[in-house]
Amino acid sequence: MPIGNAQPSVRPVPSGRTDGAAAEAGGRRRGAGSRHLRGGSRAERLAPYVLVAPAILIIVVLRLYPLLLGVNFSFTGDGERNGTTVGIDNYLELLDDSLFRTALGNVGLLVLLLPVAVAIPGLLATFIYLRVPGHRFYRSVYFFPAVLSPVIVGAIFNLLLAFDGPVNAVLGAVGISPVDWLGNPDVAMFVVVGVHIWATFGMALVVFLAGFATLDAALLDAARVDGASLVQVIRHVIIPGLSRTIAFVAVTTMVGMLTSMFGLLYVMTSGGPEGSTYLPEYYIWIQQGQMNRPALASAASTVLFVIMLVVGLLQVKLLRRAGGED
Amino acid sequence: MSRVRLSRWLLAIPMSLLALATIYPLLFTVNVAMKTRRDYILDRFALTDTLRWDNISTAWNSVGMDRYFVNSLIVVTSSVVLLLLLGSMAGFALSQLRFRGSSALFLGCLAGLFVPFQVIMVPLARIMADTALIDTYPGLVLVFVAQFLPFTVFLMTSYYKTIPREVIDAARIDGNSVYGVYRRIMLPLGTPALLSVGILNALFCWNDVLMSLVMMPSAEHRTLMVGVTSLRGQYSNDIPTFASGVLIAAIPVLVVYLFLQRQIADGVAAGSTKG
């Protein structure tokens, strides 16, 4: 069903006659205000706009307009050059900044880890869908970290992963030397992404299960009657049948990794060690809040927005292709 | 058939291990929060022998968690009420009423979905500073509402689309104005969706850290999650108190999850399938 259609009337499909009746009834009850319903009184005709206006106003003023403002801002200077146009200087400075380059590199790492982040909840959802014993229990346990704030998750893992903390104590008990989980630049980013996946796979799991609900059960039964193995069922029935869901989860997971890891980074590593766990969102925050470089931060924001746009367009493309396969 | 059954039981092993890995970090934190510092240093893993609430009350009283808690409560409650009100109003109009420009307005709302806070952080902070809304409750509420409104409008619109037009027609024949239909029909009928979306929004707002950090710089207005981040520096030597602070921030969410799991999962699922 189309969302709206361009008819001048605000009335929800009434015919002329019932409309008149409504007008009369309305007139009786509330007096002059709604008497002219037949032609649609002024108040009634404006009603939909009045209902939508606050939402639209807030979204335009506090979401869409700032976007333009920010892009504009990214071409001006900071500090002494505040307000003057500096062309693409900020972008050149970004390219020159090793911290920002690390942040972009880490985005690349996230893209590489994306298949893992999608496959884990996908597989688990498959098992739950195939009614592994205790599937209801797993479902609610797996989902539970997804409701915790990244700050809380980060704080808990700070305890667990401290150098003299319990994880290393367990490793030590089996003879493995302790790992500096959050202090080793080669390891820290993987640890943070791992914790992020731990905290969010429940979300994707629920989305997958909603997708499974739309899957044709007859196909699965047929495959089972034919003696297909689990791997075959996954490859030939589940993946093609769920291509839309998989594409959706891939994109939302990617967006999640780009925009909701700030809390973890802030609590667990503060971007360190040696700036190895910077992501664009953390860089933006540092430049705007700590370094007092709002224009430079705006340039980084614009870069992040372009990355998100690419992800979004990819989504449209993937969904369309998946839709074509159905 | 028996082979299938066996393999299902085999799958249960990694799945239980994962369940343990999911739940253990929290249990560990609860256990630590109950210990004395000495107990923790001597043995991190041993189950606490008594339930000690000293750490919790220390974290609550002397760290300022009580004030942060109230701040969060004020901001989250106002944000959710506003979100549900504005979201359902817009959702009703966009799904059930015919008017010029409705699809453009719907797309305008959706466009907001593609602008994450990180991207507009700098100009938004400036707007808030220019309007003297920075570091005030209404300021953060507005930022929250702007952040989660597109999603709320989207979900309410798709929910209201499932309500048959006849229901609204009947209400109109009974003499209700458009606003009357909204108040007497759409709000009550929308309850399940409002509940789901409301809980999700409450979680998002309660759990947020970046927006609160940028929009509420002063300690006096700090929200609970920002408060948790400040614990880290203060209590790096007193792990049980630190764990208690974390627990205080987590408990409301855990309670909500225990009772309203279904609605939360439904909300997430609705957000995905309606797309």
What residues of chain B lie within 8 A of the CB of A58, using their CB?
86, 142, 145-146, 149
pLDDT above 80 for A35 = no
Using the Cβ of B182 and the Cβ atoms of chain A, whether some distance falls under 8 Å is answered with yes
Q: How many residues does chain A have?
A: 326
Closest CA to B15 of A148, A50, A47, A124: A124
Judge whether A29 lies within some domain: no
Using the Cβ of B265 and the Cβ atoms of chain A, whether some distance falls under 8 Å is answered with yes
Give mean pLDDT, residues A180-203: 92
pLDDT above 90 for A37 = no
- Of the pLDDT bands very low, low, confident and very high (cuts 50, 70, 90), residue B10 is confident
Tokens of A324: 């074509």
Give mean pLDDT, residues A107-130: 91
Helices (H), chain A: 16-30, 42-59, 65-73, 89-96, 98-129, 135-143, 150-161, 166-173, 188-213, 217-225, 230-233, 239-241, 243-259, 262-264, 280-285, 294-325
**A273 preceded by cis ω (within 30°)?**
yes
pLDDT above 90 for A264 = yes
Judge whether A14 lies within some domain: no
B44 with A165: Cβ contact below 8 A:
yes
B153 with A144: Cβ contact below 8 A:
no
- Which DSSP state fits B94? H
pLDDT of residue A137: 87
pLDDT above 90 for A6 = no
B124 Cβ partners below 8 Å, 6+ apart?
A62, A66, B117, B143
In this structure, of B123-127, B139-143, B262-266, the range with the lowest mean pLDDT score is: B262-266
Which residues in A36-48 are b (16+ Cβ under 10 Å) and which e?
Answer: bbeebbeebbebb
In angstroms, what separates the C-alpha of A186 from chain B's closest C-alpha?
24
Using the Cβ of B189 and the Cβ atoms of chain A, whether some distance falls under 8 Å is answered with no
B172 with A44: Cβ contact below 8 A:
no
What residues of chain B lie within 8 A of the CB of A12, using their CB?
96-98, 165, 168-169, 172
Check which CATH number belongs to the domain holding A234 and give it: 1.10.3720.10
Judge whether A262 lies within some domain: yes
pLDDT of residue A258: 92
Rounded to whole angstroms, the Cα distance separating A267 from A155 reads 6
pLDDT above 90 for A231 = no
Using the Cβ of A2 and the Cβ atoms of chain B, whether some distance falls under 8 Å is answered with yes
pLDDT of residue A325: 47
Determine the structural domain holding residue A116 and report its residue range: 94-325
B residues 46-85 closer than 8 Å to A (CB): none
A residues 18-37 closer than 8 Å to B (CB): 18-19, 21-22, 25-26, 28-30, 33-34
pLDDT of residue B237: 75
Tokens of B102: 């409705």
pLDDT of residue A177: 85
pLDDT of residue A324: 53
- Of the pLDDT bands very low, low, confident and very high (cuts 50, 70, 90), residue A326 is very low
CB B82 within 8 A of CB A55: no
Q: CB count, 10 Å around CB of A120?
A: 17
pLDDT of residue A323: 57
Give mean pLDDT, residues B103-119: 91
Closest CA to B237 of A173, A157, A178, A164: A164
Rounded to whole angstroms, the Cα distance separating A211 from B269 reads 8
In angstroms, what separates the C-alpha of B104 from chain A's closest C-alpha?
9
Beta bridge partner(s), residue A76: A85
Residue of B142, B172, B205, B241 for testing the chain A interface, max A β-carbons within 10 Å: B172
- Which DSSP state fits B112? G
CB B51 within 8 A of CB B237: no
- Which DSSP state fits A180? -
Structural domains in chain B, CATH included, are 54-273 (1.10.3720.10)
> What is the tens place of the pLDDT at every residue in B38-89?
778 777 777 777 777 788 888 888 778 889 999 999 999 999 999 999 999 9
List, as one string, the DSSP characters of B193-228: HHHHHHHHHHHHHHH--HHHHHH--SGGG--HHHHH
Judge whether A60 lies within some domain: no
Rounded to whole angstroms, the Cα distance separating A190 from A184 reads 10
pLDDT above 60 for A39 = no
Give the one of A138, A155, A305 whose C-beta lies nearest to B19's C-beta. Answer: A138
pLDDT above 50 for A12 = no
In the block, residue with structure tokens 């106003």: A57
- Of the pLDDT bands very low, low, confident and very high (cuts 50, 70, 90), residue A289 is confident
Using the Cβ of A282 and the Cβ atoms of chain B, whether some distance falls under 8 Å is answered with no
Rounded to whole angstroms, the Cα distance separating B182 from B167 reads 12
Share of chain A above pLDDT 70, in %: 86
Give mean pLDDT, residues A147-174: 89
pLDDT of residue A322: 63
Rounded to whole angstroms, the Cα distance separating B227 from A137 reads 33
Judge whether A3 lies within some domain: no
Judge whether A42 lies within some domain: no
In one-letter notation, the amino acid at residue B254 is L
Answer with the residue of higher pLDDT: B1 or B250: B250
- Of the pLDDT bands very low, low, confident and very high (cuts 50, 70, 90), residue B268 is confident
CB A82 within 8 A of CB A76: yes
- Of the pLDDT bands very low, low, confident and very high (cuts 50, 70, 90), residue A40 is low
**Cα A42 from chain centre:** 41
3-state secondary structure of B41: helix
> What is the tens place of the pLDDT at every residue in B144-203?
999 999 999 999 999 999 999 888 889 888 888 999 999 999 999 999 999 999 999 999
In angstroms, what separates the C-alpha of A141 from chain B's closest C-alpha?
6
In this structure, of A174-178, A306-310, B61-65, B157-161, the range with the lowest mean pLDDT score is: B61-65
pLDDT of residue B6: 65
pLDDT of residue A31: 40
Average model confidence (pLDDT) for chain B? 88
Answer with the residue of higher pLDDT: A163 or B80: B80
In this structure, of A122-136, A142-156, B105-119, the range with the lowest mean pLDDT score is: A122-136
pLDDT above 60 for A26 = no
pLDDT above 70 for A233 = yes
B143 with A62: Cβ contact below 8 A:
yes
Judge whether A47 lies within some domain: no
Give the one of B95, B123, B210 whose C-beta lies nearest to A262's C-beta. Answer: B210
What residues of chain A lie within 8 A of the CB of B210, using their CB?
262-263, 266, 281, 285
- Chain B residue with CA closest to A214: the answer is B273
Using the Cβ of A306 and the Cβ atoms of chain B, whether some distance falls under 8 Å is answered with no
- Of the pLDDT bands very low, low, confident and very high (cuts 50, 70, 90), residue A197 is very high
Average model confidence (pLDDT) for chain A? 82
Number of domains in chain A: 1
Answer with the residue of higher pLDDT: B260 or B3: B260
Judge whether A109 lies within some domain: yes
What residues of chain A lie within 8 A of the CB of B89, using their CB?
51-52, 54-55
- Of the pLDDT bands very low, low, confident and very high (cuts 50, 70, 90), residue B5 is low
Q: Rounded to the nearest 10 degrees, how much is the dihedral formed by the CA atoms of B190, A53, B95, A207?
A: -70
A67 with B93: Cβ contact below 8 A:
no
